[in-house]
Structure 1
Amino acid sequence: MEDLRNGSKADGHQPDQPKTNNSSAYKGLYQYAKPHLWTFLGVFGCIIVAIAADLLQPYLVKVAIDDHLTKGDKNANTLFLIAGIYLLLSVGGFVFTYLQNNLLQYAGQSIVASIRKHLFRHITKQSMSYFDRMPSGSLITHVSSDTETINQFFSQVLLSVLRDGLTLVFIIVLMFQLDVRLTLYCLILLPIIALNAIAFRSYMRKTYQMARTNLSRLVAFVAENLAGMHIIQVFHQEKEQQKQFSERNQTYFRSNLREIRTNVLFNRSFDMLGNLSVAFVTWLGGNAVLGHSVPFGVLFAFITYIRQFFQPINTITQQWNTLLSASVSMNRIWSIFDTVPSVQDKPGAAVDISGVKGQIDFNGVKFSYTDDQPVIHHLDLHIQPGEMIGIVGTTGAGKSSLISLLCRFYDVKEGSVTIDGTDVRDIPQEKLHRLIGLVQQEPYLYSGSIVDNVRLFDDAVSREEVMQACRLVGADVLIESLKDGYDTLLSERGSGLSAGERQLISFARIIVFKPKVLILDEATANLDSHSEQLIQRALAVVSEGRTTLVIAHRLSTIMGADRIIVMRQGEIVEEGKHRELLQQGGYYEELYRHSQGRIEASGKPGSGAPAIEAG
């Protein structure tokens, strides 16, 4: 069953997502930037002042040369005044540049923080089918790396466009003011610059897209291997996984080098154009100075402006790769924003769950993960409030799929699943998940204290309630033996605690949140006999007064159930109490003998009853 759900991950490729064009991504980004309009206006004002301060400095030198030095003016006071103004302009340029950078960083970081928050919230609202298709490493890249690239759009690209773009305009105005003929000669290079940018644009976009995609696949592979490291080591797959990692790493290395080579070639071509233009202006202007048609101060200022003219152009072109990366990242992020959960609440759905008793009905349910491979076939199952139901069957029987439909991780293809007669599709998911408590084979514990793990960081649950819940399930002895007791900090997944101890903490969660329906999905599969006894006692406590569904790997877990459901290939083939099913001598009796290791003794060698696992 896992193969069906995770098939799109197996090849390491990104699953298909809604295509998002640049315009819609930029429109979405604008909505996040809109609240910071006044900050951007402040940035714009600081840029104007800083540019004016920088560009007036060569003009002051031109005035000092042409109006004073070359004319033999010996009035030192005037030169001191010009020098003082020059110094003030330098200080003013520094101050306003500092202000513009800080204001822009504040706005950019605020926007990215908001995007990151909404992106995480949107991802958590996706249906389980989305996470079946989407590698976790890719999602990590989107939340961390792609959002940081958008921050670079504001701190580098936007700043460069505003500051360097305005610098170009002001320089051209000042150059025309100094000498029209020299300015027109310099502007001949603008079409060459435009053609150079257009020629590189398409190729550069492909190289940046490939580099980002390969990085995402590399991160996804690492995340997958870290999550399954115990399997890799048990089956001695370190060399094979290292080989696959090396291949992916080499692919990313090559795409990165290709990106860098393209970037260097693009930037150096502009350096060459800039140097040629300075040499051209020096030759042309030098002849004019020797011919006394252009003052030396004008030539000095002109050469200075020419150097400053190509500097912002070069800076803008250097930000081209950042712009492309930001565009790719924005498209990837907004493609997630455009992804609509396959399981959604009905508009205006409002159901009172305060009086729910816990009656569950599966009415003619048909379900499949893919259209051509049905998992559950027209299943009917009716469970009374407070009843404990054991569910057994072989791999692929549909047991876990049945539970997923009840939790509404997926929607049925046909039929309905109801709780107290209300279709789960009519119950808001937030309320539905408060009705159902789920304990899985591998309980997930978060980084934090034991108290926070039991109450799942919900401050509405008091510390006393947590301690009472732990006492009821028998976890208090374990917790009090720890150095910091309930304040003991756990690492991710609760490493350092045994499987049974982690399960006890997950059972305490059930007591705290008081769901009407309790589901145990292979909760005792990985436990030793002693831990299983502890869990059995805890189960007796948490299941009291609750409708309980237990998917069992070990039949000993459900022998005392009110009813046992035996599933095979998506259908219920047997139903009854433990002893009744054994007396029938059917499929359950065969599974029971297999679980007891008595296949050979039964006179049915090779009957091939498979191990009982989650379906």
Structure 2
Amino acid sequence: MNIQTQTITAKEQRTVLKRLLSYAGKYKKEFIFAFILLIFATIGEIIGPYLVKVFIDDYLTPNSFEMGPITTLAALYVGILIVKTILTYFQLLKFQEISLKIIQDLRIDVFSKVQKLGLKFFDKTPGGSIVSRVTNDTEAIKDMFVSVISTFVQNGVFLVGIFIAMFLLNVQLALFCLLIIPIIFGIMATYRHFSSRFYADMRERLSQLNAKLNESLQGMSIIQVFRQERRLRKEFSDINDAHYKAGMKNIKLDGLLLRPAIDLVYVFSLILVLSYFGIASLGSEIEIGVLYAFVNYLGRFFEPVNQMMMRLSMYQQAIVSASRVFTLLDEKELAPVAQSNNSHMVSKGEIEFRNVTFSYDGSRDVLKNISFTAKQGETIALVGHTGSGKSSIINLLMRFYAIEKGDILIDGVSIKEYKDDELRKKMGLVLQDPFLFYGTINHNIRLHNEEITDEEIVEAAEFVQANHFIERLPDKYEQLVVERGSTFSSGQRQLVAFARTIATKPKILVLDEATANIDTETEEAIQVALEKMRKGRTTIAIAHRLSTIQDADQIFVLHQGEIVERGTHQELISQEGLYQKMYLLQNGTANKLEDVVTNN
């Protein structure tokens, strides 16, 4: 699969970093406390070599071993070492605690954003790609906050302290050592330029791997039935190979520009320092303690630089991942919401479609000038061939998509004016393939709606006759439901979905081929339940089996996005149009069926 990887510019990287750091504002006090601990720990780290320098120059070189001062110096050195160790532990602990809190906040923001996105976004975005951003990408960001930020802050303060100590020892040599900084920054800039491209490629490939894995798991039965294992394995292998190649490019870059390049600069710096002291010793005496301290500080200077360079890899991964996460957070394809602050209430459930035209892709209309009215308590049936627009009417009525042309009114008020809570509370939806959550049957009927009591759950199950199979289960209403309810039959899952809907006592009932997956015996029982459910409720039902909607108050026949026929069952049969042909195909005699085929 060919993809175009977006390269993140240096300016965009700075913007992403600034946005990431804005999450730390909530923990400003904790951050300041950790920073103070870091400064004191760094001071202790810097004082250590200086105390050794004092011992060498003031006591070891002149061969003066006064036990009192030496003991005091040693005790001071050991005490500073112990205090520094304790402070380092607590400042690292505090920095990582803040980091984990920040990543918690970010993950909640991302998950909450996903919940607000419209179905149009999910139509064009693979589920595995979204999962990758919520899990893999936020995990990379977590590594940055836990390992990178604290390391950069700690080592940055440490480097400043080292240079201060160097200037106190020898100003001229310290100025020479300042030349190292531009070289190091140049290596960092080069690494960031190339690695951002490679990491963007790796993250995109990882998203594709997740998407392919998710698709395979969802369609495993089809894959096995049609023997698609080899094809899927080949496609997965190709993506995996592309991910490997992108990773190898970055490994080669890491091997060249991280530790090896910095070690090379360190060697030349050490040669510079030793050459300086060697040349200086020809003209005058040099202090061994100063030489030791300077070489020690130089080594201590490059150790944090190496740590920062090694974590620069994590930093680049985090910046690329954060860019992908922020792209998701900035997504504009949100689910439609109320366009006013009015608190309209659905009281009757009367529905009116008024000249509704709709397109999913903006170019081909799937609904064309749809108009009809469903009065309170009426049952409206939508029939038509696949692709005629039946489900699109349901999607717009449920406000899964925004209406582009025309309007939908409930009780005379535009659907755009209702708040989500009111719409969802007063409209019950049962799909052809019901979705069950991991948990218990009780949980799946209640769906955390604390207003629904256990007694009402049992009543709802009895109402739709789901209680017959539930009571036979070992744990009855506390029976565990595995993912998607795969251990139950399609009919049993549908009955639980009916009970879930009826428990909310909706004013409007929407049935999207709700009895398609139910066996004949169960269907007879559910039709009785449906008849009771429809009483006093406005019902919109999609049906392929015309025998299930013959008692509907109105039947609308759709063809290519338009209502081409409307009326009751008897009226439509008498019109001898598309509905009659569909009815004869399903219920007619062999001769009638042959006539229909011949006429078509």
Task: Give the shorter-chain TM-score range.
Answer: over 0.9
Match of 2:479 in 1: 488
Match of 2:307 in 1: 315
Match of 2:119 in 1: 128
- Whole-angstrom CA distance in 1 between matches of 2:73 and 2:545: 91
Offset of residue 322 of structure 1: 2.0
| Secondary structure at 2:285 match in 1 | coil
Larger mean Cα displacement after TM superposition, 503-512 or 29-38 = 29-38
- Whole-angstrom CA distance in 2 between matches of 1:275 and 1:595: 86
Q: 2:47 aligns with which of 38, 41, 56?
A: 56
Supply the AA of the counterpart residue of 1:312. Answer: P
Q: 1:305 aligns with which of 294, 297, 301?
A: 297
Match of 1:532 in 2: 523
Q: 1:353 aligns with which of 345, 359, 362?
A: 345
- Whole-angstrom CA distance in 1 between matches of 2:527 and 2:254: 64
Q: Structure 1, residues 408-467: CA drift from partner, whole Å, max 9, x if none?
A: 111222111111111101112232122211111111111112111111122232222212
Q: Map of 1:131-530 to 2, 5 A cutoff? A: 131-267=122-258, 268-286=260-278, 288=280, 293-353=285-345, 356-530=347-521
Offset of residue 507 of structure 1: 0.8
| Secondary structure at 1:243 match in 2 | helix
- Whole-angstrom CA distance in 1 between matches of 2:452 and 2:379: 27
Q: Structure 1, residues 30-57: CA drift from partner, whole Å, max 9, x if none?
A: 4432120001101111110111111211
Cα separation, partners in 2 of 1:221 and 1:607, compared to 1, 3 Å: farther
- Whole-angstrom CA distance in 1 between matches of 2:209 and 2:588: 44
Q: 1:42 aligns with which of 29, 33, 38?
A: 33
Offset of residue 545 of structure 1: 1.6
Q: Map of 1:30-109 to 2, 5 A cutoff? A: 30-109=21-100
Structure 1 residue runs without a partner (length 5+):
1-10, 610-615
- Whole-angstrom CA distance in 1 between matches of 2:139 and 2:319: 12
| Secondary structure at 1:553 match in 2 | coil
Cα separation, partners in 2 of 1:608 and 1:31, compared to 1, 3 Å: farther
Count of paired positions: 596
Match of 1:612 in 2: none
Larger mean Cα displacement after TM superposition, 367-376 or 457-466 = 457-466
Could you tell me whether the CA contact under 8 Å between 1:13 and 1:217 is conserved in 2?
no
Q: Structure 1, residues 162-206: CA drift from partner, whole Å, max 9, x if none?
A: 111111111011111112233233333323223222333311111
- Whole-angstrom CA distance in 2 between matches of 1:558 and 1:595: 13
Offset of residue 505 of structure 1: 0.8
Offset of residue 287 of structure 1: 5.2
- Whole-angstrom CA distance in 2 between matches of 1:600 and 1:328: 67
Cα separation, partners in 2 of 1:24 and 1:274, compared to 1, 3 Å: closer
- Whole-angstrom CA distance in 1 between matches of 2:395 and 2:441: 28
Could you tell me whether the CA contact under 8 Å between 1:15 and 1:134 is conserved in 2?
no
Cα separation, partners in 2 of 1:81 and 1:413, compared to 1, 3 Å: same
Cα separation, partners in 2 of 1:396 and 1:294, compared to 1, 3 Å: same
Q: Is residue 573 from structure 1 mapped to residue 564 from structure 2 by the alignment?
A: yes
- Whole-angstrom CA distance in 2 between matches of 1:174 and 1:594: 93
- Whole-angstrom CA distance in 2 between matches of 1:307 and 1:59: 14
Could you tell me whether the CA contact under 8 Å between 1:452 and 1:458 is conserved in 2?
no
Offset of residue 98 of structure 1: 1.2
Offset of residue 289 of structure 1: 5.3
Match of 2:545 in 1: 554
- Whole-angstrom CA distance in 2 between matches of 1:133 and 1:311: 48
Larger mean Cα displacement after TM superposition, 270-279 or 131-140 = 270-279
Offset of residue 229 of structure 1: 1.7
Offset of residue 401 of structure 1: 0.3
- Whole-angstrom CA distance in 2 between matches of 1:348 and 1:389: 29
Could you tell me whether the CA contact under 8 Å between 2:100 and 2:142 is conserved in 1?
yes
Q: Structure 1, residues 450-508: CA drift from partner, whole Å, max 9, x if none?
A: 11111112223222221221121111222222222212221110121111111111111
Cα separation, partners in 2 of 1:26 and 1:276, compared to 1, 3 Å: closer
| Secondary structure at 2:373 match in 1 | strand
Could you tell me whether the CA contact under 8 Å between 2:378 and 2:538 is conserved in 1?
yes
- Whole-angstrom CA distance in 2 between matches of 1:346 and 1:318: 50
Q: Structure 1, residues 268-287: CA drift from partner, whole Å, max 9, x if none?
A: 21122123322442344355
Offset of residue 160 of structure 1: 2.1
Offset of residue 23 of structure 1: 5.4
Cα separation, partners in 2 of 1:431 and 1:293, compared to 1, 3 Å: farther
| Secondary structure at 1:603 match in 2 | helix
- Whole-angstrom CA distance in 2 between matches of 1:365 and 1:530: 38
TM-score under structure 2 length normalisation: 0.94
Q: Structure 1, residues 38-96: CA drift from partner, whole Å, max 9, x if none?
A: 01101111110111111211111111111111111122333232222222222112211
Supply the AA of the counterpart residue of 2:175. Answer: L
Could you tell me whether the CA contact under 8 Å between 1:126 and 1:342 is conserved in 2?
yes
Could you tell me whether the CA contact under 8 Å between 1:450 and 1:486 is conserved in 2?
yes
TM-score under structure 1 length normalisation: 0.92
- Whole-angstrom CA distance in 1 between matches of 2:18 and 2:363: 39
Could you tell me whether the CA contact under 8 Å between 1:122 and 1:337 is conserved in 2?
yes
Offset of residue 240 of structure 1: 0.8
Aligned identity (percent) is 36
Supply the AA of the counterpart residue of 2:196. Answer: R
- Whole-angstrom CA distance in 1 between matches of 2:558 and 2:539: 17
Aligned-residue Cα RMSD (Å) equals 2.4
Cα separation, partners in 2 of 1:343 and 1:446, compared to 1, 3 Å: closer
Q: Structure 1, residues 110-161: CA drift from partner, whole Å, max 9, x if none?
A: 1211121122112111111111122111211121122222222222222122
Structure 2 residue runs without a partner (length 5+):
none
Could you tell me whether the CA contact under 8 Å between 1:470 and 1:476 is conserved in 2?
yes
Could you tell me whether the CA contact under 8 Å between 1:507 and 1:542 is conserved in 2?
no
| Secondary structure at 1:350 match in 2 | coil
Offset of residue 234 of structure 1: 2.1
- Whole-angstrom CA distance in 2 between matches of 1:368 and 1:478: 42
Larger mean Cα displacement after TM superposition, 138-147 or 63-72 = 138-147
| Secondary structure at 1:375 match in 2 | strand
Could you tell me whether the CA contact under 8 Å between 1:524 and 1:554 is conserved in 2?
no
- Whole-angstrom CA distance in 2 between matches of 1:225 and 1:72: 78
Q: Structure 1, residues 218-271: CA drift from partner, whole Å, max 9, x if none?
A: 111211221222222222211111111111111111111112221221112112
